[in-house]
Amino acid sequence: MSHRWISIFVIAVALLGNAASGLRAQTTITAATTTLTDGADATANGFTYRNQTLALDTFTAGGETYAVTGQASQVFVRRGSSGVARSHIWYETASNAGDRFGPYITNIEDAILGNNLNLGIHNMFANVGGSSANIERVDLIVSGGMTAAEGFAIPVLISA
């Protein structure tokens, strides 16, 4: 093999390696397994909160299966100094304007930090507009730290 072909081969391998690395952030989750737990209902603000948690146990992405290994213990909601400090929570409901499947939540931090697919945060980083909250950053912290082992992954799930 000539030096020219060796050079082309090396460059091609380097380019393929970079492409694979850059694409990983776009690896979509294609399947998941979940566990549903059901607590005692709560009534507040004219609604029934069924206190259900639909937790993500495993997911498949890029042909690999991932399982839960740990959870953050602290959450910090960092807001800017201008604008209105609001919170917006979306709830999956049993019917249009009906019961909320999730728990009654009294602090947005409890809606953010956790493992529940039937609720979430609306427009979390908006600064302007009616649904703005003036949040700039959300920190999900493991007290004492953790070792990021080979195969480590963080899923981020966005609602439509």
Partner 1 sequence: MNPQHESFSIALVTSVDGAGNPTGYSDLASTTSFTAPNIHNHDSFSIERYNAGNDTSGTPYTIFNTTFDQGPGGVIFTLDDFNVSAGSTIYGYSLFGFDVSTGGDAANLVDWTNSTYFPGNTDGGEGTAGGFDFSGVNGIFFRDVAFAVIPEPSVYGIGGIAVVVLSLFRRRRRSSLAA
Among residue numbers 96 through 135, which ones bind partner 1 (CB under 8 A)?
A: 96-98, 100, 102, 105-109, 111-132
Q: Return the C-alpha torsion angle 6, 9, 10, 11, nearest 10.
A: 120
The C-alpha atoms of residue 86 and residue 90 are separated, in whole angstroms, by 13
Binding mask 51-90 for partner 1 (x = CB under 8 A): ---xxx-xx-xx-xxxxxxxxx-xxxxxxxxxxxxxxxxx
Residues in the chain: 160
The C-alpha atoms of residue 70 and residue 67 are separated, in whole angstroms, by 10
> In this complex, which beta carbon is closest to partner 1, that of residue 40 or of residue 148?
148
Q: Does 19 bind partner 1 (CB under 8 A)?
A: no
**17 three-class SS:** helix
CB 62 within 8 A of CB 21: no
Name which position in 12, 24, 39, 43 contacts partner 1 (CB under 8 A): 24
Neighbours of 52 (CB within 10 A): 19
**Least CB distance to partner 1 at residue 48 (A):** 12
> In this complex, which beta carbon is closest to partner 1, that of residue 50 or of residue 108?
108
**Least CB distance to partner 1 at residue 144 (A):** 8
Question: Could you tell me the two tokens for 62?
Answer: 């890029």
**Least CB distance to partner 1 at residue 124 (A):** 5
Q: Does 42 bind partner 1 (CB under 8 A)?
A: no
CB 52 within 8 A of CB 37: yes
**Least CB distance to partner 1 at residue 11 (A):** 20
Name which position in 1, 19, 40, 148 contacts partner 1 (CB under 8 A): 148
Q: Does 43 bind partner 1 (CB under 8 A)?
A: no
**Least CB distance to partner 1 at residue 57 (A):** 10
Nearest to 114 by CA among 26, 29, 37: 37
